[in-house]
Structure 1
């Protein structure tokens, strides 16, 4: 119950560019209880993509600054680099996690690769999962990983991956 004595109703927020309709995002479970879910995103506003790209570039620049400030023979950044850019892969995926899969395709593009990397980091101990629905060819993918490979994302890898991700996102989802 809410503070006014009325039942609490969870809010459903749509990403920028999404259209919410009355009752959208609300469904009933098998027992008739109301559940709230996120809508799939078919397009993204150009400003949202540009802002997200800018945030990712700022995160990359922050690592550049840390590396420039570190001593040239200081290896402290080596361990940080791996966890930092793995976290940025997750952050990149989360910004656009509700994108429509049909529009994304299954051809092994950078959107597929980031989705699979994020899922693997979260659920498979950092080893790339195999997804039979996605044709991820290591020879054509950005990072060149095969199922079972340890996911190691360094600075240069993330720069290439994020650029390919945003290019593919704009090509398929730009409003």
Structure 2
């Protein structure tokens, strides 16, 4: 199966930096929106929640895209963060945001990072995105990072 076997650490670090920057931008926007003084913001929390889900669901697709050329033929039993991101990204793009079964990548929710089951809605929060992106990048570094030298 064709695909990238390894990534330079500089590339992984640059991806991590972009992720951290994008998370910080969202947090700053949310913080600024909530710092409203005496204004009537009755719909603000619901709007921020919807924005958070949309933003981090899309960021998950971006995360998968950073490593789209990665070899996908090496899998851990029950799945890994790499497999979980793949399934969730496909679910967002192809299944309306509902976790879909992928016979090629069976995931055990009890062993997965986010614990989402088939049929669950993918509505990622900032904290969930941090957890899955951290686990994903750690797996990339452990499995696919080029040796430093």
State if a TM-score over 0.5 links the two structures: yes
Kindly report the root-mean-square deviation, in angstroms, between the aligned alpha carbons of the 2 structures.
1.4
Between the two structures, name the one with larger relative contact order (CA 8 Å, sep ≥ 6): 2
Q: 1:71 aligns with which of 25, 29, 34?
A: 34
Distance 1:143 1:114, change over 3 A: same
> 1:136: Cα distance to partner?
0.9
Matches within 5 A, 1:20-169: 40-71=3-34, 74-75=44-45, 76-105=47-76, 107-169=78-140
Could you tell me how far apart the structure 1 residues matched to 2:141 and 2:56 are? Answer: 22
Q: Could you give the per-residue CA deviations for residues 117-140 of structure 1, whole angstroms, max 9, x where no partner exists?
A: 011100011111111222311111
Structure 2 gaps, min length 5: 36-40
Q: Is the 8 A contact 1:106 1:112 kept in 2?
A: no
Q: Is the 8 A contact 1:104 1:172 kept in 2?
A: no
Does the CA contact (< 8 Å) of 2:84 and 2:107 recur in 1? yes
Query: 5+ unaligned residues in a row in structure 1: which ranges?
Result: 1-38
CA distance in 2, matches of 1:85, 1:98: 22
Q: Output the TM-score relative to the length of structure 1.
A: 0.74
> TM-score, with normalisation over the residues of structure 2?
0.86
Structure-1 residue corresponding to 2:142: 171
- Aligned partners of 1:135, 1:129: CA distance in 2, in Å? 10
Structure 2: distance between partners of 1:135 and 1:77:
33
The structure where helix makes up a greater share of residues is 2
Q: CA deviation at 1:87?
A: 0.5
Give the drift of 1:106: 5.5
| Count of equivalent residues | 137
Q: Cα–Cα, structure 1 residues 142 and 95, in superposed 2: closer, same or farther, change >3 Å?
A: same
